[in-house]
Amino acid sequence: MRGDYVMYCSDEAWQGGVRVGMPLSEAGALMNNRSSNRKPNHCHSSSAQLPLTMQHNPDADRCALQELAHWCQRFSPWVALELDDEPSSLLLDMTGLEPLLGHELKVSQQVGRAFERLGYKVQLGFGDHVGTAWAAAHYGNLNTTSPWLHEANLSNLPVEALRLPNKVLDLMASLGISQVHQLQSLPRPALASRLGQKLVQRLGQIEGSCPEVLIPYQPPPEFQFRWVAEHPIANHQSIHQALYLLIERLANQLLQRQQGAMELECQLICQVPTACQYNVPHIDQIVDGKTGNRNVPVVLKIGLFQPRATVDHLEKLVQIHLEQLRLPGPVCEILMRATATAKLKIRQGELFDDPSRRQTQQLATLVERLEGRLGQKAIVGARLNTDILPERMVCDEKLTGLQARSSRRAPSHSKHLQTQKTSYPTIRPLQLHTPPVPLEIIAVVPDGPPIRFRIRGQISQVSRHWGPERIETGWWRGKSVRRDYYRIETTHGNRLWLFRCLEDGQWFLHGSFT
Amino acid sequence: MMYAELHCKTPFSFLEGASHAEQLWGRAAELGYAALAVTDRNTLAGIVRAHTAAKQASLKLIVGAEVTPCDAPSVVLWATDRAAYGRLSRLITVGRRRADKGDCHLTWEDVAAHAQGLLAGVIPVLQPTPQPGQIQHTTTFHQNPLRHGESCLATPEMLQPYKELFGDRCYLLAELHRGVDDRRHLEQLETLANTTQIPLVAAGDVHYHVAGRMVLHGALTAIRHNTTVAAIQGQLFANAQRHLRTLEEIALVFASIPEALQHTCEIADRCQFSLDELRYEYPEELAPHGQTPLAYLQRLTWQGAQLRYRHGIPDKVRQLLTHELQLIGELQYEAYFLTVWDLVRFARLQGILCQGRGSAANSAVCYCLGITAVDPDQTDVLFERFVSRERNEAPDIDVDFEHERREEVLQYLYNKYGRQRAGMTAEVIRYRTRSAIRDVGKALGLSLDRVDALAQQVEGSHHEPLLTDRCRQVGIDPDSATGQRLVYLVNQLIDFPRHLSQHVGGMVITQGPLCELVPIENAAMEGRTVIQWDKNDLDELGILKVDCLALGMLTAIGKCFVLILKHTGRQLTLANIPEEDEQVYQSICQADTMGVFQIESRAQMSMLPRLKPRCYYDLVIEVAIVRPGPIQGNMVHPYLRRRAGKEPVIYPNESVRQVLEKTLGVPIFQEQAMRLAVVAAGFTPGEADQLRRAMGAWRRPGIIDKFRQKLVNGMLGRGFSREFAEQVFRQIRGFGEYGFPESHAASFALLVYVSAWLKVYYPDAFIAALLNSQPMGFYAPAQLVRDARDHGVPVRPIDVNFSDWDCTLEKATNEECTGKRERGSVISPRALRLGMRMITGLSYKNAKIIKEARCQSPFQSITEFTRRTGMNRTTVIQLARADAFTSVKQDRRGALWEALSQEQRPREMPLLEDLNDDDDERPAGLEKAGLQQEVYDDYRTTGLSLRQHPIAFHRVALNHYQIVPAKQLASLGNQQLVRVAGLVLLRQRPSTAKGITFVTLEDETGTANLILHQRVWERYYTIARRSSAWIASGKLEHSGGVIHVVVNRLEDLSGRLQKLKSQSRDFR
């Protein structure tokens, strides 16, 4: 945190004295001081409010702007992001749209209102060129009747309106150039050699003598297909056919991009008569006003062990999942979407099959199918943790989906498994009792192992023992766990793993060696 | 059963050991151990603390270290005698010097080369290390896990070399910690011991003194690996067994191998080395052949005395010298004095100004040797304060050098004595509240902004009793489980060492190899080597160090002397400045002291007109009295009143009068406090010295209260009133917070006088020297230059045709000399030419090139300038913006326009050599800058302007608001409501001033002193903290020639002046 600076701030923060470029700690102090001053009797016990801060994330900013660009296509078919490392403006080509949208003043009001509904404040500007429009939006006087910036008004613009890097602005300030008309009066070649080609280009762009292209924003493809039935269908055969169609298209699109699905989402919109009280909590129900039918979406989520784009396999999985469900009514619409994808591994086939490769294939198929039948929680993998506490040494992890894929890739993981395998079987039992079974001790060596104890009504006599092994851990989680573990062998030849809780002296059976 | 623990880490195995030495040895003694070894990893940094702790606990200490060669199993080495200790120290030095700071690279060869006399306990790392969860084996705890791979496993083949090398001095450590399978572990060890014939010895691998410290150890481990406890849990110890276990428990654990327990005592018996044996020997080569160092020192001293007192040595001094020399001879400190004398002689030869300070100024010998400059004939010196027979403690000589040239002195020492014999003292960086919160918060995985907010809340250095309250304030619930852990761990972690750094200037020099006394390691700074002990460790063992400190003012004075010599031919030294000059004191009394050493701060300046120093000794008092100590002890006002004759000076008796007479009955110096304790409370001189040390230990204010009872009772017993006794105690306690000893103040006062004298008689050279020594002092160059102009020094702007890197002096023209002059009395025949160092961002290298290039002829145009100097475009632009082309092209914007057209990197173009292709004038589109703009640009590029003060442009508007120019404040009546406006020069908030902030505003007429009370500061926090120019309204207060405005309202003026590069200097 020590090196953090303010990148942007709200109007409220600005009023509080926060400035862009200020160290965050100082900004925090400023805001703190304000809030404590506002209270008439500033008592020390009240917890001071820290200002709300967020880490500057240019990627997220760009994503949000891209989303907005997509949304803006309702105003213009040609929407572009400003060409900049960190774009903050959207450029809309309005050429020829006047018959549709009306006069620019009307358009600006319309757009402004639309943004307002989204919860944004928007600064708009119109111009003959990208340069003028940008200048109008940033430095134009919005009080005038027209938001249009004409070339005649260029000269009084500040040089900041030229979209120039700070370094050039700084130099111009030193030269005393603050307005565009000052620049215009200087010889262009001299300007280019002194203040850079960029300046001349920008000047040309704002004057319209230098062309500027808009590269429209295109959202990345969504792996999503929809099928709408003419009449709601209840016939399984037909539904399957529709599904097959969708999966085929999806798989084709995926293959084109060498992608495989890691997670599939299949939505079946079923039509349920209002009279029918089909109770589906937390599923959106859309009531169709005319027919009095409700549309109930049924959602299938399918995770995959490895990326796939095979039609047959995907179709099979969807079917398995579908079999588990009872549809509340005839299906009127199906939506098929790959919610997570990953790069497909495509290897050349070999003359002789590599059995290990086929094994993973088979494992993948097995896992995916089992999951389809038994549910996601039923199929998990075991992962070793570095925890010292025995019951926390292993944890379950999901095998399918994108997350599982990334954790499987962790390099250290498999190594752990191997080293552990060789060194433990005799020292740790393979099976643990969860929770540990309390033991009734009949005789015990003081501060040592038990001699005789009762377990499930049966009395056991200890013939040999190893230990104690002491475990004291977990203070950072809560109460620390302190135990002395013994491996014991009973006279019956059973080998058990016992521990004594050091806090209260209670004995427990934690595992059995087999 | 007898047991000695042989493997124990202290906090000096940084972030590994989790208990302090006192705790470890205290606990071990309590448990009845026979001995406890200190074996930190690759370091001996903690052994002195351990030595002290072991002495206190009356427990035997075994000195050793855990050494980790990269190609052999790690081994614990114990020193049997002094020679073996020397080899261990040398071994660690070898490893440390080879590696970067903080690291140690050793090989088996190194261990073999230094093995003689050392006992070895090999740490076995066995094949399967069955620690559940602990995936990597224990070697991950080594600093460099990659180096401790398979090869370090303790196979018989790996152990055989140890056996061969150490013979019967080799052991195998058996460390059992209730691990996964102790029985099997032990079996393996026994097999190993049998095959290799190395006996097993029991050990505990102790990391902390009690089991409860496991928690702190976990946090430390996480901090060391820069992660959270939860993330690193697999590498933590599985249980808390690495504490000092009871003898019964140890007996139980090692029941099957009793001989391993016996071996611990065997080893303890074989280690007969104690740190008390370390005898420090001074370098002796300084005395010429055939002469003892003492005789040589005597000769030098008397020779020096002849020089110092040309009209005959006064009797007082003669007596002092005889007495001191006798004592020095008795305590065998002569070589030390010679070392310092040699150092000072070297500095003098090189023309480096230096002056001794601190308690050394109590010595007439030091004066005669030229180390210090305080004449013992004129002040009361207390040699016992410096060297005392009963204290048997090393004297401490601090010498200040010019801060820019101190490195030369240090390198001289390294060169003269070699890296093997000279090293810089270390400084142990310890956890303070703030750093502890940061690290613990991270280790517990708290969100960083909360941790940061909490760290911001606490005072950095002091113990924070209100930590829980502070937590609440930033939204951490101290009662929650995490909150409790945080508070607990922070409190535990405070004062733990974090790493070693280098001391500001302490050098240790020995006769024999230093690395056999203490390991030497590399410092972060190139060319420096540091020993592993800090100042306290050296004190403890009675090892002498020479403190070579850096002082900016000496640099300035040195540069000033050079300038004066060059321009007037007058050769000045610290010793030949005319003494007690009336005019100098005159200007000091008027607080005309900007730039003068020590007395230029706001507080000092406001005190000067009241104290009115008239002689050197007044300056000594002035330096000492305006300090937090005397201010808190409430000594300033009684002294002022008595000096002004408003209050009679009454002494309770004659002996007190003798002590306090020269400071009018108010104890101002540490020495007086000591003497007062002797004459009034019956302390022995030794006890008085303990009192002084308690005063020095300001970090722990509780200690001095122990002396309270003794002091007060002693004084009551001698017939003093309780009131007087309590008052004396309060005053003495005030010294706990930064008080000055008289000798120190006396040394500083000399520099005060010298710098004030220079300012009065050579204001031109003085300002140039100050500017050339920046950054230093309280004021920014803009204020210094302004002050110089007020004193009649003509100042000329930076110009590529005239300026050097440094500011220089030029011959002034007549009209310049007759220009306005306000306070100065000496007409300066020289003008100051600002140097290119004033230009922000310009490098020294470029300035030098420019100077060389203009030797032949002055630059005629910017193109020519670029061609001849080969400057790149960026630099030319920098110069143009700073208006350094005035002599080439009149106008700044025109110059910049021209500079912009230069090639990015100039190429050789011989054919165009003579072509002067500058455009004649700036193009019509560029307007000439207005004066105001020029001033702003000046501030932006050089931080000051010679044209006009930026506030001046707003004067008309300010008049409209009825804002008074600073200069007029003096003519207004007391208690009148006024408004002033100006740039904020400095904000100062002394910790003693109860939240009051002192601010200085500057406008074009002068400066105004503001006082802001806490609530005003809070109310206008944003402006107060951020704005660089204020309008302040408040009440005017005159007192004793000092004018303040007590502010009750603030407004921001900086909006209009935003582009200024004016930076306030803020002090806390």
Mean pLDDT of chain B: 83
Of the ranges A491-495, B339-343, B1021-1025, which one carries the lowest mean pLDDT score? Answer: B1021-1025
Listed residue (B926, B831, B909, B920) closest to B868, CA to CA: B909
Distance CA B380, CA B984 (A): 43
Which residue out of A175, A197, A412 would a mutagenesis test of the B interface target, given it has the greatest number of B Cβ atoms within 10 Å?
A175
CB of B456 less than 8 A from some CB of A: yes
Q: What is the pLDDT of residues B1022-1068, one digit of tens each?
A: 777 777 888 899 998 887 667 889 998 888 886 655 444 444 555 44
- Tell me: pLDDT of A280 over 60: no
- Tell me: pLDDT of B792 over 90: no
Q: Which two tokens stand for residue B505?
A: 């200037």
Residue B1031's H or E segment, with its range, is strand B1029-1039
Q: What is the pLDDT of residues B99-137, one digit of tens each?
A: 888 889 999 999 999 999 999 999 987 654 444 433 333
CB contact under 8 A, B135 and A466: no
pLDDT at A32: 64
Apex B522 CA angle, B516 and B526, nearest 5 = 140
Out of A48, A185, A416, the one facing B135 most closely (by C-beta) is: A416
CB of B910 less than 8 A from some CB of A: no
Residue contacts between A and B (CB atoms, under 8 Å): 155
CB of B145 less than 8 A from some CB of A: no
CB contact under 8 A, B896 and A175: yes
- Tell me: pLDDT of B461 over 70: no
Residues of A whose CB is below 8 A from B928? 176
pLDDT at B1056: 57
Q: What is the pLDDT of residues A110-141, one digit of tens each?
A: 888 888 998 888 888 888 888 888 888 887 76
Residues of A whose CB is below 8 A from B933? 176
Residue type, B450: R
Q: What is the pLDDT of residues A345-361, one digit of tens each?
A: 776 667 776 777 777 78
CB contact under 8 A, B474 and A47: yes
Distance CA B261, CA B2 (A): 8
- Tell me: pLDDT of A26 over 80: no
Q: Which comes out higher in pLDDT, residue B1054 or B727?
A: B727
pLDDT at A39: 40
Q: Give mean pLDDT, residues B930-942.
A: 85
CB of B881 less than 8 A from some CB of A: yes
CB contact under 8 A, A472 and B238: yes
Q: What is the DSSP letter of B966?
A: G
Out of B130, B240, B933, the one facing A176 most closely (by C-beta) is: B933
CB contact under 8 A, A194 and B214: no
Q: Give mean pLDDT, residues B225-233.
A: 87
pLDDT at B698: 45
Out of A25, A427, A475, the one facing B452 most closely (by C-beta) is: A25
Highest mean predicted confidence (pLDDT) among A143-152, A404-413, B85-94, B487-496? B85-94
CB contact under 8 A, A476 and B230: yes
pLDDT at A482: 92
Q: Give mean pLDDT, residues B819-839.
A: 72
Residues of B whose CB is below 8 A from A484? 178
Is residue A79 helix, strand or coil? strand
CB of B1022 less than 8 A from some CB of A: yes
Radius of gyration over alpha carbons of chain A, in Å? 35
Q: Is B517 exposed, middle or buried (0-12, 13-18, 19+ CB in 10 A)?
A: buried
Handedness of CA B685, B688, B693, B696 (dihedral sign): negative
pLDDT at A1: 37
Distance CA B636, CA B611 (A): 10
pLDDT at B418: 85
Highest mean predicted confidence (pLDDT) among B108-117, B442-451, B735-744, B883-892? B108-117
Out of B133, B928, B1023, the one facing A386 most closely (by C-beta) is: B133
Residue A308's beta-bridge partner residues?
A261
Place of tokens 């009772």: B713
Distance CA B187, CA B200 (A): 12
Residues of B whose CB is below 8 A from A171? 877, 896, 900
The rounded percent of chain B whose pLDDT value lies above 70 is 87
Residue A333's beta-bridge partner residues?
A228, A269
pLDDT at B20: 93
- pLDDT band of A152, cuts 50, 70, 90: low
B 492-551 near A (Cβ less than 8 A): none
Q: Which two tokens stand for residue A368?
A: 């995916």
Q: What is the pTM of this model?
A: 0.76
- pLDDT band of B188, cuts 50, 70, 90: confident
CB contact under 8 A, B456 and A194: no
Distance CA A424, CA A418 (A): 11
Distance CA B29, CA B31 (A): 5
Distance CA B13, CA B993 (A): 41
Contact between residue B983 and residue B1062 where contact means Cβ atoms under 8 Å apart: yes
Distance CA B802, CA B934 (A): 21
To the nearest 10°, report the CA torsion of B667, B670, B674, B680. Answer: 10
Q: Which comes out higher in pLDDT, residue A415 or B499?
A: B499
pLDDT at A198: 86
- Closest-CA distance, B71 to chain A, in angstroms, reads 24
CB contact under 8 A, A422 and B128: yes
Highest mean predicted confidence (pLDDT) among A317-331, B107-121, B598-612, B621-635? B107-121
CB contact under 8 A, B130 and A478: no
Q: Give mean pLDDT, residues A78-104.
A: 83
CB contact under 8 A, B218 and A393: no
Residues of A whose CB is below 8 A from B181? 427, 466, 469
Residues of B whose CB is below 8 A from A385? 133, 234
pLDDT at A325: 82
Instruction: Using the CB atoms, write b or e for B65-86: b if 16+ within 10 Å.
Output: bbbbbbebbbbbbbbbebebbb
Distance CA A423, CA B131 (A): 10
- Closest-CA distance, B646 to chain A, in angstroms, reads 43
Collect all residues with Cβ–Cβ distance below 8 Å to B761 and sequence separation of at least 6: B826
CB contact under 8 A, B1022 and A484: no
- Tell me: pLDDT of A172 over 90: no
Apex A207 CA angle, A202 and A208, nearest 5 = 95
Establish how many alpha carbons lie within 13 A of residue B1041's alpha carbon, considering only the half-sphere containing its beta carbon: 12
- Find, in chain A, the residue whose alpha carbon is nearest to that of B447: A1
- Tell me: pLDDT of A188 over 60: yes
Q: Is B1001 exposed, middle or buried (0-12, 13-18, 19+ CB in 10 A)?
A: buried
